[in-house]
């Protein structure tokens, strides 16, 4: 999810702060000293929700000087035995350094290599479940494709109520993504069948797309794609818009018409019942696509669910011109199906609505425009 236009200045400021002297590489220290107060908390990380704040003290616990966010995460990595993963113990001479991204993220050295730590998501703080959802998405993406690299999630932890972090393998993202290679990887992802225990649309965990909650039919109720899209995508976005913008009756009227005509968009491919679930990245704008130095495509920061493969194209049209899918690598596997151009508008509309919900009326015009285009 790209940062809101209005927040760019704030993000820039937090990136500058993240590079501030307060974040210079920490001196080595022996493991036994890890819990000792090494330095004052600093709010320079730009970590959402007040980075550097201490964990709330348990009642009756002795007062303890607050740890910085890097120290806190480092301590949790040291304490953690991530289930099913190799040891994530941090070696004795750990250092932390600012991440290339700024935005409430930083790097740690561990005995498994460098680790990228992100506090919250999309530049805002996030509860543990949100980052657990991101970690589960990364795991599933990794299992579904070898043609693209997906960072391995190492740990999700909490810095305070509603302030979680995710630690993951650091990748060197200085390459330039090759469109065909990316397309081949995405085709492999979309062609992989869902796991045995998931036959429906959605995902076994509810999640979010950017700062908006995204319900995912986590109970796995049996439904066809049109029903799923009506209820969990168009319907949920309209509900949130009604709560956040009650005066905008036009968007509700157009939305209701669109709900009615939805099945029509799927008639050229034999109806919504013909759509099979594919694993979708869910938030594939250009900022969530990168490459290793050798050109190997990398995808990060997913909002996964199982759905119609074409739905993954939507935000890539909105921010990226659709280039991830308009290439031979992808289209060798997935030729454009009949009726695609109109469904592409539908899937892009979903992200305009999501942006309208998150960032407000700056996205109203594009939302209404796409709705009208579909209803013409």
Ligand X SMILES: Nc1ncnc2c1ncn2[C@@H]1O[C@H](COP(=O)(O)OP(=O)(O)O)[C@@H](O)[C@H]1O
Q: So which residues are the catalytic ones?
A: 283
> In whole angstroms, what is the distance from residue 359 CA to residue 357 CA?
6
CB atoms near residue 21 (< 10 Å): 6
| b/e burial code for range 340-374 (CB count within 10 A of at least 16 → b) | beebbbbbbbbbbbbbbbbbeeebbebbbebbeeb
CB of 101 or CB of 331, closer to ligand X: 101
Among ligand X, Mg ion, none, partner that 185 touches (CB below 5 to 8 angstroms by kind): none
Q: Measured from the CB of residue 173, what is the shortest distance to Mg ion in angstroms? A: 12
Q: How far is CA 326 from the centre of its chain?
A: 22
Our finding on whether 136 is near Mg ion (CB under 5 A) is no
CB atoms near residue 176 (< 10 Å): 9
Among Mg ion, ligand X, none, partner that 100 touches (CB below 5 to 8 angstroms by kind): ligand X
> In whole angstroms, what is the distance from residue 95 CA to residue 110 CA?
9
Among Mg ion, ligand X, none, partner that 116 touches (CB below 5 to 8 angstroms by kind): ligand X
Our finding on whether 301 is near Mg ion (CB under 5 A) is yes
Q: Measured from the CB of residue 175, what is the shortest distance to ligand X in angstroms? A: 12
CB of 237 or CB of 288, closer to Mg ion: 288
CB of 97 or CB of 169, closer to ligand X: 169
> In whole angstroms, what is the distance from residue 335 CA to residue 324 CA?
14
CB atoms near residue 138 (< 10 Å): 22
Q: Measured from the CB of residue 301, what is the shortest distance to Mg ion in angstroms? A: 4
**Three-state secondary structure of 193-232:** CCCCCCCCCECCCCEEECCEEECCCCCCCCCCHHHHHHHH
Write out the binding residues for Mg ion, residues 269-298 only, by CB under 5 A: 288
Q: Measured from the CB of residue 282, what is the shortest distance to ligand X in angstroms? A: 13
Chain residue whose CB lies nearest Mg ion: 301
Residues of this chain that bind ligand X (CB under 6 A): 100-101, 103, 105, 116, 118, 121-123, 151, 168-171, 173, 287-288, 300-301
Q: Is 291 helix (H, G, I), strand (E, B) or coil?
A: strand
> In whole angstroms, what is the distance from residue 59 CA to residue 104 CA?
29
Q: CA 179, 182, 188 angle in degrees (round to 5)?
A: 140
Q: Measured from the CB of residue 161, what is the shortest distance to Mg ion in angstroms? A: 24
**Residues in Cβ contact with 342 at an 8 Å cutoff, skipping those fewer than 6 apart:** 265, 374
Q: Measured from the CB of residue 51, what is the shortest distance to ligand X in angstroms? A: 14
> In whole angstroms, what is the distance from residue 72 CA to residue 326 CA?
44
Among Mg ion, ligand X, none, partner that 151 touches (CB below 5 to 8 angstroms by kind): ligand X
Among ligand X, Mg ion, none, partner that 158 touches (CB below 5 to 8 angstroms by kind): none
Instruction: Please count the residues of this chain forming the interface with Mg ion, following the rule CB under 5 A.
Output: 2
Residue among 155, 158, 131, 154 at smallest CA distance from 69: 158
CB of 151 or CB of 314, closer to ligand X: 151
Among ligand X, Mg ion, none, partner that 173 touches (CB below 5 to 8 angstroms by kind): ligand X
List residues near Mg ion by CB under 5 A: 288, 301
């Amino acid at each position: 999810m790209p940062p809101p236009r209005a927040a760019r200045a704030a993000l820039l400021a937090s990136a500058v702060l993240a590079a501030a002297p307060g974040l210079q590489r920490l001196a080595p220290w022996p493991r036994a000293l890890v819990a000792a107060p090494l330095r004052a908390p600093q709010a320079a990380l730009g970590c959402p929700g007040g980075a550097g704040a201490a964990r709330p003290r348990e009642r009756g616990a002795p007062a303890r000087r607050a740890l910085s966010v890097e120290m806190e995460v480092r301590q949790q990595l040291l304490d953690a035995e991530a289930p099913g993963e190799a040891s994530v113990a941090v070696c004795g001479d750990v250092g932390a350094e600012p991440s290339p991204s700024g935005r409430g993220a930083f790097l740690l050295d561990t005995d498994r290599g460098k680790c990228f730590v992100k506090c919250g998501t999309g530049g805002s703080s996030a509860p543990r479940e949100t980052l657990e959802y991101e970690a589960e998405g990364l795991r599933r993406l990794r299992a579904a494709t070898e043609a693209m690299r997906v960072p391995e999630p190492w740990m999700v932890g909490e810095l305070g109520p509603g302030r979680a972090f995710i630690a993951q393998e650091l990748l060197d993202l200085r390459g330039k993504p090759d469109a065909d290679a990316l397309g081949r990887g995405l085709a492999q992802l979309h062609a992989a069948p869902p796991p045995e225990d998931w036959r429906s649309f959605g995902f076994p965990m509810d999640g979010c797309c950017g700062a908006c909650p995204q319900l995912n039919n986590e109970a796995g109720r049996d439904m066809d794609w049109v029903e799923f899209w009506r209820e969990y995508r168009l319907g949920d976005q309209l509900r949130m818009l009604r709560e956040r913008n009650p005066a905008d009756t036009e968007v509700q009227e157009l939305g209701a018409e669109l709900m009615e005509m939805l099945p029509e968009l799927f008639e050229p491919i034999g109806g919504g019942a013909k759509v099979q679930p594919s694993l979708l990245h869910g938030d594939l704008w250009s900022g969530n696509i990168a490459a290793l130095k050798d050109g190997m495509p990398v995808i990060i920061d997913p909002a996964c669910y199982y759905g119609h493969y074409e739905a993954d194209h939507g935000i890539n049209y909105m921010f990226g011109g659709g280039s991830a899918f308009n290439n031979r690598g992808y289209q060798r596997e997935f030729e454009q199906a009949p009726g695609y151009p109109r469904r592409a508008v539908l899937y892009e509309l979903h992200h305009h609505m999501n942006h309208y919900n998150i960032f407000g009326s700056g996205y109203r015009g594009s939302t209404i425009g796409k709705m009208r285009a579909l209803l013409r």
